[in-house]
Chains A and B, each alone.
Chain A
């Protein structure tokens, strides 16, 4: 079945540092790929998504590019802020002939940004 593997945390950075959180996936077909973020005390929120190969999703300074050749969707941000401290989840849907409504998540990566 489909699976998502993401970089284990926790990740601790200083403000304005560069962020990369690695994510790779296993799925046949053409899944859609997502990054969700969970801020302390809040529900999961969609951060960005990409629906086909070579698409780049972007939001709030974060970017991720759908790389089918490496089955990856790494999350990057050029300069993190304290307010980016959260848990980040990589996810996919629609792989292996599965349904588009069903999300398969990675385990999550806790990011802490210090001032």
Chain B
């Protein structure tokens, strides 16, 4: 595709609900990243995929957060039992390899009410 695509662009959910956020990387990019940007802060690393496997998930804040990339392309970030503190913009990025320029999507703004 032309760029990294994230859906939905906005998501409002009730506290305690489950949400899924989707990322379509640039075609052919093997590396995929998720970041979280809270209000007034810079993006914070969550997880890095190389192909289908999570090469580094050290940034996931707790076990309510999980991400998959089953076919090495599209990735889904899953958040269980959402809390108000999970409200943030979730950014996805991809790159051709793990240490080359990362291209970011526009993000999904998650609001937990």
Chain A residues with CB under 8 Å of B35's CB are 103
Contact of A44 among B56, B91, B99 (CB under 8 A): B91
In contact, B98 and A43 (Cβ under 8 angstroms): no
Question: Does B90 have its Cβ within 8 Å of any Cβ on chain A?
Answer: no
Minimum CB distance partner of B97 in chain A: A101
Bound form: Cα–Cα A53–B44 in Å: 25
The stretch among A14-22, A59-67, A105-113 that forms the contact with chain B is: A105-113
Q: How many A-B residue pairs have CB under 8 A?
A: 53
In contact, A103 and B107 (Cβ under 8 angstroms): no
In contact, B98 and A101 (Cβ under 8 angstroms): yes
B90: shortest Cβ distance to chain A, in Å? Answer: 12
> Size class of B's contact patch?
20 to 34
Minimum CB distance partner of B92 in chain A: A43
Minimum CB distance partner of B50 in chain A: A101
Assuming the A-B contacts A43-B4, A101-B48, are A108 and B42 also in contact, with contact meaning beta carbons closer than 8 angstroms in the complex? yes
In contact, B42 and A106 (Cβ under 8 angstroms): yes
What are 10 inter-chain pairs, A to B, with CB distance below 8 A?
A4-B42, A43-B3, A43-B91, A44-B104, A89-B43, A99-B48, A99-B56, A102-B59, A103-B43, A107-B42
